[in-house]
Structure 1
Amino acid sequence: MAAFMKKQTVFTQGENPIKKGKKVIITAIIVIFALIFVNNCYYQVKEQEQAILTMFGKVLRVDTAGLYFKIPFVQSVHKVDMTTHGIGIGYTIQNGQNITVEDEGIMITSDFNFVDIDFYLEYKVSDPVAAYYNSENPDLIMKNMALASIRNTVVNYPVDDVITTAKGQIQSEVKEKLQQELTSNNIGLTVVNLSVQDAEPPTAEIVQAFKSVETAKQGKETAVNNAKKYQSEELPKAEATADKIVQDAEAKKEARIAEAEGQVARFNEMYEQYKLQPYITKKRLFYEAMEDILPDLKVIVTDGNTQQLLPLEGFNN
């Protein structure tokens, strides 16, 4: 009986295993909650993202890269990717191949033709708060805006220009219109770049026809360039010849003017002499004139009754 009481006393004084297990569980729960609490006190923002800190739905601030503190279970953090993204408009990429999306790429031109035109759009988040709160799917909204801007631009050009010479102008106008729409609707996105990937008619026969047109245009440009080259070579020669003609004409003009002025001065001098001695002056002028005329005249001396003249040229010695 004494031995039994002794064993019962020892059992009573030892720690109860059930109570010990409960303590371990409670301690583990407290440690877990402490770790969760501590873990929720801090958050890290990477280099290519920004974080929106909110409390009860109100935005407190926007954080860039770094380590930050927040109140656990009261404040929330929403991270936004700030890197540049790209999407195809008019096509999708599957297994490394471009697959045409006809509902997006086929558009009508100003001359009522159809053209299949593809764009590649690069964009990124410009306002994290607007991108996160102002719309449920800002990427889809931006793509729809891009499609509308492309259609509103392509419809102003004939199909020939869309496929050949107007690609640069079209992508510039589309980019400007799309950026205006994004700013107006404030969905937090901005356009980085937009480029035309390809533009061609929707059928193979029309593609071949437009290739022929493009070849003809290139031939036209070659001919124009050759003509401009010929112009640049011949124009200086023509200008030099024209300058020489003008200079010769100016020289002749000056000579004629000088000669005329000399004759006028001589005539005035003769007139002054004539006023002094009219008769003598007239005689002198007559003799001078005859000196100029007689060497070129054939002189015949006759008595008036001669009917036949013999050649006397040989007797002029």
Structure 2
Amino acid sequence: MFGKKGNMQQPHGYKDVAKKSPKLIIFIAIAIVLLFCVGESFYSVKEQEQAILTMFGKVLRVDTAGLYFKVPFIQDVHTIDMTTHGIGIGYTIKDGQNITVDDEGVMITSDFNFVDIDFYLEYKVSDPVAAYYNSVSPEVIMKNMALACIRNTVVNYKVDDVITTAKGQIQSEVKETLQKELTEKNIGMMVVNLSVQDAEPPTEEIVQAFKSVETAKQGKDTAVNNAKKYQSEELPKAEADADKIIQDAEAYKQARIAEAEGQVARFNEMYEQYKLQPYITKKRLFYETMEDVLPGLKVIISDGNTQQMLPLDSFSATE
């Protein structure tokens, strides 16, 4: 086992292995490299992903779901998530709780009031190449653009409208404006949906003031409803009274017309008599007028010479 110098003698088989080990190591290394190259030559793309294949920084193609081949160490693959994501604007979610972010949610309105309004933005990648190459953080850019669009829209509304009736219109305007700007900036992102989560005054004092205003509005609505109810009850009655007045006036009108027509007929008849006997008719009219003016007057006709006076009875028919 030991030589003359006291060294352990190596077995004969060990020398053979030592002679062959460099070749074996090279073979194993080559095998590993080949396996690595084969592994690097194929890549798969999931259903909700798209892959950008590049070579020396130049885009060769965009792949959808499936298994693909690439040249290892020369061509690179960048996977882009194409699913829909959501982000809160004006608040953040931590441990299942919504935490208000005042720097984002508090905005000014057209009547110079403050309102705390929260949005939920749903988005996804529309162009994977633009999303990967045109910006470093497209989500951050998109959120800042969304904040700008929200502020520019909310400032056009009064605080009462923002909190109550204008939420749908505001979110529609913001969504349209944001999508237009995303298209112009070409950062490869698109808006799926944008909705107002909540809108309220930013402080407790203002909250109480708004509650008082809301109570006053409800009182106003109640008064208006009561007035409309009174109107609906009294209007038919007033219309009926107006119709009666109109009918009475029409009846009086017809009566006066008939009376006038009768007087005209009587006058025409008298005029016909007058044309036949002017003097007698004139005297008769005179006496009849005197009877009407002085009903107690007793008229005596005399020639001025005779001593006997004859009373003149009424020309009208006797009772």
Change (3 A) 1:18 1:166: closer
Are residue 152 (structure 1) and residue 152 (structure 2) matched? yes
TM-score normalised per structure 1: 0.69
| Aligned residue number for residue 39 of structure 1 | 42
| Aligned residue number for residue 101 of structure 2 | 101
- Give the distance between the partners of 2:106 and 2:163, measured in 1 at CA: 13
AA aligned opposite 2:202? P
Change (3 A) 1:68 1:96: same
AA aligned opposite 2:124? K
Further displaced range: 78-87 or 55-64 = 55-64
Residue pairs, 1:176-195, within 5 angstroms: 176-195=176-195
| Aligned residue number for residue 127 of structure 2 | 127
| Aligned residue number for residue 272 of structure 2 | 272
Q: 1:136: Cα distance to partner? A: 1.5
TM-score normalised per structure 2: 0.69
User: Percent of aligned positions with the same letter in both sequences?
Assistant: 76
Q: 1:102: Cα distance to partner? A: 1.9
Contact 2:42 2:70 in 1 (8 A): no
AA aligned opposite 2:117? I
Q: Report the 3-state secondary structure (helix = DSSP H, G, I; strand = E; otherwise coil) of the residue aligned with 1:141.
A: helix
AA aligned opposite 1:105? G
Q: 1:194: Cα distance to partner? A: 2.5
Q: 1:116: Cα distance to partner? A: 2.6
Change (3 A) 1:39 1:124: closer
| Aligned residue number for residue 205 of structure 1 | 205
Contact 2:42 2:68 in 1 (8 A): no
Change (3 A) 1:281 1:123: farther
Residue pairs, 1:198-277, within 5 angstroms: 198-277=198-277
Unaligned runs of 5+ in 1: 1-15, 302-317
- Give the distance between the partners of 1:108 and 1:225, measured in 2 at CA: 33
Change (3 A) 1:21 1:201: same
AA aligned opposite 2:127? D
User: 1:25-80: per-residue Cα shift (whole Å, max 9, x none)?
Assistant: 4785487257436634xx4441x44444555544455555x536454446554443
- Give the distance between the partners of 1:193 and 1:174, measured in 2 at CA: 10
Q: 1:207: Cα distance to partner? A: 2.0
AA aligned opposite 1:137? S
Residue pairs, 1:19-30, within 5 angstroms: 25=28, 28-29=31-32
- Give the distance between the partners of 2:75 and 2:244, measured in 1 at CA: 91
Q: 1:141: Cα distance to partner? A: 0.7
- Give the distance between the partners of 2:192 and 2:232, measured in 1 at CA: 42
Q: Report the 3-state secondary structure (helix = DSSP H, G, I; strand = E; otherwise coil) of the residue aligned with 1:116.
A: strand
Further displaced range: 220-229 or 135-144 = 220-229
AA aligned opposite 1:135? S
- Give the distance between the partners of 2:75 and 2:237, measured in 1 at CA: 83
Count of matched residue pairs: 281
Q: 1:187: Cα distance to partner? A: 1.8
AA aligned opposite 2:184? S
Contact 1:109 1:157 in 2 (8 A): yes
Contact 1:116 1:199 in 2 (8 A): yes
| Aligned residue number for residue 67 of structure 1 | 66
Q: Report the 3-state secondary structure (helix = DSSP H, G, I; strand = E; otherwise coil) of the residue aligned with 1:212.
A: helix
- Give the distance between the partners of 1:267 and 1:77, measured in 2 at CA: 119
- Give the distance between the partners of 1:224 and 1:278, measured in 2 at CA: 75
- Give the distance between the partners of 2:23 and 2:59, measured in 1 at CA: 47
| Aligned residue number for residue 80 of structure 1 | 80
User: 1:253-305: per-residue Cα shift (whole Å, max 9, x none)?
Assistant: 344334434433443343234323324544665787799x69x956889xxxx
Change (3 A) 1:39 1:222: same
Change (3 A) 1:110 1:37: closer
User: 1:85-110: per-residue Cα shift (whole Å, max 9, x none)?
Assistant: 22111111001101111222233344
